[in-house]
């Protein structure tokens, strides 16, 4: 049951480009952090924005998730991931969020969020019946998954045009989570970047509408690459949203013959430690080589 069904009164009418504004519903989980706030602020400037916010990312319990992971990775693989999460990944994530908060000027973004007049509709999780009924009542042209877990078809099919996502990695080359660090750990520059894609039943498998990569240069870390990829991806997302009311649904990129598509989930202990040894990218040989090789 949604506990707050009131929504904001977003801007209506035309964008600064003289085009009619799309009604966009942004889906997020928990308190938005700097990267999510950056996305919301840009969306609010380019659309009639509503927000549906969930407390939890998923309806699956922690025990069920552990069962699934054990089946997928075995006991040792699961143990490795749990240890890595406790010892390395959580610290890295905290550090990355602090860094992104600085880079994205989280202080001003939070001030904007407080004064934006956007009142999120609260739901238990994004695939919950309350979330669906909230979205149905808003009748969005487009939905954007700003944060949160995997959306089910019953949820992502509620947008008139499509539901979009920013994946911080180059889909479909690399799908799943931690994609930029995976690219650093495995020496795969073609994985580093971001993708704007339509959400479908798979994970990061939907039609790719935009894909980009920041320049890789000596001194870059995963945090800075995420930051620059995010800025470019949000700008691309806004362009896609501005194009919809023109009746020009953006053309999907041809992603067929571009090598294998790899899925990676959370890292175990070995890749987490390797990421640290590589200075989170700063000492990654393939990034340093950008100084001397074209």
Partner 1 sequence: MAGRIKKGGLIVNEHTLTASQTRDHVNVLSRWFDFIHHDDLRDRLTRPTARPFCLLTFDDGKRSNASETVPELERLGVPAVFYVTTRFLTDGAPLWFDRYAALTQTLGRTPAGLEAETVKQLPFAVLNQRLDEACGKHGVTPDTTNDDIRPMSWDDARELARRGFTIGAHSLKHAILTHEPEAAALSDIAQSIAEVTSELGTQCTTFAFPNGNYTARLTQHAITCGVHTVMTTEPMWADARFPLWRLPRVELMPGSNPSRITLKLALAATGGLLANPDGTGRLYRKINRLPSSRCSASPPSRTSR
Residue linked to tokens 């609260």: 122
Asked if 288 is part of the footprint of partner 1 (rule: CB under 8 A), the reply reads: yes
Instruction: Round to whole Å and give the CA distance between 213 and 287.
Output: 13
Q: Minimum Å distance from CB 178 to partner 1?
A: 21
Residues in the interface with partner 1 (CB under 8 A) total 28
Q: Minimum Å distance from CB 274 to partner 1?
A: 17
Instruction: Round to whole Å and give the CA distance between 201 and 175.
Output: 13
Which residue, 138 or 236, has its beta carbon nearer to partner 1? Answer: 236
Asked if 103 is part of the footprint of partner 1 (rule: CB under 8 A), the reply reads: yes
Alpha helices in the chain (DSSP H): 34-46, 62-84, 90-103, 106-115, 129-138, 153-156, 179-185, 222-243, 269-277, 285-288
Asked if 289 is part of the footprint of partner 1 (rule: CB under 8 A), the reply reads: yes
Piece of the chain touching partner 1 by CB under 8 A; list 8-16, 161-169, 219-227, 270-278: 219-227
Contact 167, 203 (CB under 8 A): no
For partner 1, the binding residues in 62-101 under the rule CB under 8 A are none
- For 85-118, the three-class secondary structure string (H helix, E strand, C coil) is HHHHHHHHHHHHHHHHHHHCCHHHHHHHHHHCCC
Instruction: Round to whole Å and give the CA distance between 255 and 173.
Output: 9
Piece of the chain touching partner 1 by CB under 8 A; list 15-23, 116-124, 125-133, 221-229: 221-229
Asked if 278 is part of the footprint of partner 1 (rule: CB under 8 A), the reply reads: no
CA 83 from centre of chain: 25
Asked if 253 is part of the footprint of partner 1 (rule: CB under 8 A), the reply reads: no
Asked if 292 is part of the footprint of partner 1 (rule: CB under 8 A), the reply reads: yes
Asked if 283 is part of the footprint of partner 1 (rule: CB under 8 A), the reply reads: yes
Q: Which residues bind partner 1 (CB under 8 A)?
A: 102-103, 105, 107-108, 212, 214-220, 224, 227-228, 231-232, 282-283, 285, 288-294
């Amino acid at each position: 049951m949604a506990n707050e069904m009131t929504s904001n009164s977003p801007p209506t009418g035309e964008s600064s480009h003289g085009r009619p504004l799309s009604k966009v519903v942004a889906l997020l989980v928990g308190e938005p952090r700097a990267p999510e706030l950056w996305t919301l602020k840009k969306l609010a400037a380019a659309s009639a924005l509503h927000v549906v916010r969930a407390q939890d990312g998923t309806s699956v319990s922690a025990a069920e998730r552990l069962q699934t992971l054990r089946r997928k990775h075995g006991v040792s693989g699961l143990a490795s991931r749990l240890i890595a999460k406790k010892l390395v990944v959580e610290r890295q994530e905290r550090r990355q969020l602090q860094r992104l908060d600085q880079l994205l000027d989280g202080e001003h973004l939070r001030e904007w969020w407080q004064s934006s007049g956007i009142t999120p509709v609260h739901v238990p999780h994004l695939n919950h019946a309350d979330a669906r009924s909230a979205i149905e009542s808003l009748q969005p042209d487009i939905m954007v998954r700003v944060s949160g877990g995997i959306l089910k078809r019953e949820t992502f099919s509620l947008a008139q045009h499509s539901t979009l996502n920013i994946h911080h990695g180059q889909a479909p080359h690399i799908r799943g989570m931690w994609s930029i660090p995976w690219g650093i750990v495995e020496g795969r520059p073609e994985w580093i970047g971001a993708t704007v894609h339509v959400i479908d039943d798979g994970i990061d498998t939907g039609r790719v509408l935009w894909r980009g990569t920041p320049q890789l240069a000596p001194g870059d870390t995963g945090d800075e690459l995420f930051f620059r990829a995010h800025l470019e991806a949000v700008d691309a997302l806004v362009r896609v949203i501005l194009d919809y009311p023109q009746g020009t649904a953006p053309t999907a990129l041809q992603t067929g013959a571009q090598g294998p598509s790899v899925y990676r989930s959370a890292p175990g202990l070995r890749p987490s430690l390797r990421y640290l040894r590589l200075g989170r990218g700063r000492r990654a040989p393939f990034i340093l080589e950008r100084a001397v090789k074209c």
